Amino acid sequence: MSLSIIIPCLDEAESIADTLKALQPLRKRGTEVILVDGGSSDDTTARAQPWVDRVLTAPRGRALQMNAGAAHARGEILLFLHADCILPDAADGLIIDGLLRLHRNWGRFDVQIAGRHPLLRVVEALMNARSRATSIATGDQGIFVTRSLFEATGCFPEIALMEDIELSRRLKRYGDPLCLPHRITVSARRWEKRGVLRTILLMWGLRFGYWLGADPDKLALRYAAHKP
């Protein structure tokens, strides 16, 4: 089975090369890497160009960008990777072998957050445990899915926030995810800039609001209002 990695980005010039350089061993083994830019004002795309198979542009918004990348991808398996995340070694083999061996159609990785604050260890543990208990994955966990299932579920819902949560809800109707214990490394910048405890409370509040049926557009405005 072939794999395509789709990376939505916006103004990621500072860190995008590190993410992409880590993917070069996978590219040498045949993995396709697609970067989908949402209208960056910096030189994100120029820095990314040497390290990817294709650079696309799409309207701003993770769901829109990831759907655009999926539409152009050649792989039978699609992996959606945030621009500030680093995959574990041999992620391609872990995904393909795991899906085939356990007869699954989608999944995600455990996470580790690249920061020293002790509360981040709590965040990691809760994210991983919650995901295993609920079969819901977040974008930080590197959601991967067969193309056929992704298309059957209608792709990412084009909403302003929580597109990963909603996609997971749809995917799990078709079966449980493959929960790989191998860890994807997530940048701590979101927690460090806003404050760790403040960010924890914000994200819990947003997810609880979505669970209660809040409008994703209003949740996105609330999220943006808390940017440092």
What percent of the chain stands above pLDDT 90? Answer: 76
pLDDT of residue 177: 97
Burial class of residue 194, CB neighbours in 10 A (0-12, 13-18, 19+): middle
146 with 155: CB under 8 angstroms?
Answer: no
pLDDT of residue 103: 96
pLDDT of residue 228: 54
What is the band of 226 on the pLDDT scale with cuts at 50, 70, 90? low
What is the band of 128 on the pLDDT scale with cuts at 50, 70, 90? very high
The average pLDDT across 64-71 equals: 98
The side-by-side arrangement of strands in the sheet containing 32-37 is 54-57, 32-37, 3-9, 77-80, 144-146, 106-114, 178-187, 85-86
The average pLDDT across 138-142 equals: 95
pLDDT of residue 227: 65
Summarize pLDDT for 71-97 with one digit per residue, the tens.
999 999 999 999 999 999 999 999 999
What percent of the chain stands above pLDDT 70? Answer: 99
More confident residue, 65 or 161: 65
Supply φ then ψ for residue 72, to 5 degrees: -100, -5
Three-class secondary structure of residue 19 per DSSP: helix
CATH code, residues 3-188:
3.90.550.10
> Is the predicted pLDDT of residue 149 greater than 90, yes or no?
yes
Summarize pLDDT for 178-210 with one digit per residue, the tens.
999 999 999 988 888 878 888 888 888 888 888
Summarize pLDDT for 23-51 with one digit per residue, the tens.
999 999 999 999 999 999 999 999 999 99
pLDDT of residue 211: 82
